[in-house]
Chains A and B, each alone.
Chain A
Amino acid sequence: MLLVIVDQDRGVLDELSLQAITFANSVDPSAPLVGLVVGASGREVADTLGRFGFTDVYLATAPDLNDYSAAACGRAAAELVSTLAPTAVIAIGSQRGNEILAHLGAILGLPVATECTSLSLGSPTHVVRARWAGNLMESAELHGSPAICSVVSHLAPPAAAMNQTALVTEFFPNFTDTDLAGQVRSRIAESEGGTSLADAKVIVSGGRGVGAEGFGPLEELAHLLAGTVGCSRVVTSAGWRPHAEQVGQTGTKVAPDLYIACGISGATQHLAGCRNSKTIVAINTDPDSPIMAVADYAIVGDLHQILPALVAATRTARGI
């Protein structure tokens, strides 16, 4: 039996977790799936999880657990592991998924393989996992039971809802004070930037080639296309744009409908963040720069000449 950790935030199911379910199914199609939801706010989510193929769903609650805590989730999972003895524990490779598994592994003294693309249970278990944000793949042996793994996001499709239900059982883990101390205390508005980069449908992104003073046309174009401005790490390190706009391995990973890369050469760091975009357009003087490996379209030339003209043409096309 496989344990899948399903994340929820204030009663809203994390869609990415559904990918973990599909992955779990592919690991062992015959094994029953058990789900874990943590926090009383997740009660409704827990109730609906049966649709996605779980035989059982466990809901971990505590009077002092009022919001998300990675440590608490790890603790809950650990208790479930000792009770149920699953062969594997699987979560999605998101920030929350990875940190929860890390806590789990620390509590149980077991290894954790994050960002996996494949998992073969056995003695030992074999995994293939992503290094360098997917620019290098690693084959490894995992010596631990259960096998604790997170799956890279956007690898597996989200599990489809079916006409099923699962038994929901509430349980009350022995959370420590430390577990509870790590809860979200409050939330504040995101101070930097307008539309969140991760949600934008169109991103107009600039690199070193744009220069400190050159982002005006990018902002205009983003505005005309109802999108947002992004940038490479070079740009944020230089202090030209806020970090919230950084696209890349250590910035935000984006998957918009349209990603326009202006004056970005395409270091692996950056490509890791934008390669899942549906359409990528590169504007660059160098037809052989690495960004071209992922670009669907390109205009070769000086962006300082091209962008203002592109803004004008877009304005005309929109009839403004």
Chain B
Amino acid sequence: MEILVCIKRVPLSGAKFSLTADGRDIDTSRLGFTVSPHEECAVEVAVRLVEQHGGSTTVLSLGVEDAEEQIRDALAVGIDEGILLVTDGEEWDAQATAGAIVDAIAESGKSFDLILFGNESADASGNQVGIRVAHALSRPTLSGLKGVQVSDGVLVGERPAGSVREVFEVSLPAVATVKDGAAIPRYPSVPGRIRAKKKPVHRSTPTRPLSLLAKQSVSVPESVGKQTKILGSGPEGISALVDVFRSIGVI
């Protein structure tokens, strides 16, 4: 089967964000980058499905030139080739992103049996790119999945709902958005990294359309500033803690 998995380069954050001088973005000058945890799992799901069923995988990202780093990371765990849609760093909203992906799929000349996304990106958390791509391609979507299986041309998805799991089934071709927990992502091996350097990455530079959800500025919310009561260092704080348990009513 042919699988496309879409990822997004996001900064690796600490506990506190610093902003750029113009207040429009996070200052990433000292930060490293990664992909969202949901997408890491999507990549792992793709690799496993092809290990099981045979076929090939492609990873795609819309981002700056440096996003090649994230594409190579995916290639290093077993994805076969990459597509990088190069931007100038300005953010693309969900509709624009979906549009660029749809165009890239058409350009690739491949018909993917399954297109995987993270359910939402760690930063923008729009929750919608995968679903929009599915509509553009007239395919069914299963979203928020924590279990993904394919058998006989049918995609079976599972996701938790309260105390049970909902089970879905649609015929391929389909789109699925995946959540962290769908698979434990493997770490790349050194041979995997060495192979990744030689795998092909196709590039194109799409033009950004006007934003219909246009970010104006960002801000770091005031932290509640809790005054933590230190009950003690070491075991001496334990009786005070047990008192807290009583006062809350858990004992």
Contacts and interface: CB of A to CB of B under 8 A. Distances in A.
- A–B contact with Cβ pairs below 8 Å: the answer is yes
Given A9-B161, A68-B166, A251 B248 contact: no
Most chain A CB within a 10 A radius of its CB, from B94, B131, B185 = B131
Contacts of B193: none
Interface string B122-164: 1111111001101110111111101000000000001111111
B190 interface: no
B241 A281 contact: yes
Most chain A CB within a 10 A radius of its CB, from B141, B159, B220, B239 = B141
Interface of B: 13-17, 26, 36-38, 93-95, 98, 119-120, 122-128, 131-132, 134-136, 138-144, 146, 158-171, 179-181, 184-185, 211-221, 223-226, 228-235, 237-239, 241-242, 244-246, 248-251
A138 B17 CA distance: 13
Given A190-B160, A309-B238, A132 B122 contact: yes
A317 B93 contact: no
A189 B165 contact: yes
Nearest to A9: B161
B251 A318 contact: yes
A243 B127 contact: no
Contacts of A226: 250
Interface stretch (A44-52, A111-119, A163-171, A206-214): A111-119
Nearest to B171: A181
Given A137-B219, A314-B251, A112 B140 contact: no
A85 interface: no
A137 B123 CA distance: 10
Contact of B124 (A131, A184, A302): A131
Interface residues of A, number: 98
Contacts of B221: 134-137
Nearest to B161: A9
Given A141-B216, A299-B237, A99 B123 contact: no
A113 B120 CA distance: 13
A257 interface: yes
Contact of A293 (B159, B165, B226, B250): B226
User: Chain B: interface secondary structure?
Assistant: mixed
User: Chain A: interface secondary structure?
Assistant: mixed
Contact of B230 (A113, A287, A290): A287
Interface string A192-229: 00001011011000000000000000000000011100
B230 A300 contact: yes
Interface string A260-294: 00000011110100000011011000010010111
Contacts of A250: 36-38, 122, 179-181
Interface in A10-32: none
Given A106-B132, A134-B221, A143 B213 contact: yes
A296 B237 CA distance: 14
Contact of B250 (A135, A202, A287): A202
A295 B244 CA distance: 13
A298 B169 contact: no
B168 A301 contact: no
B94 A140 contact: no
Most chain B CB within a 10 A radius of its CB, from A227, A233, A267, A301 = A301
Contact of A70 (B122, B141, B184): B141
A142 interface: yes
B185 A237 contact: yes
Contact of B139 (A178, A251, A297): A178
A160 interface: no
Nearest to A221: B245
Contacts of A102: 127-128, 131-132, 143
A184 B17 contact: no
Given A9-B161, A257-B249, A314-B242, A306 B220 contact: no
A236 B180 CA distance: 10
Given A243-B180, A309-B238, A299 B248 contact: no
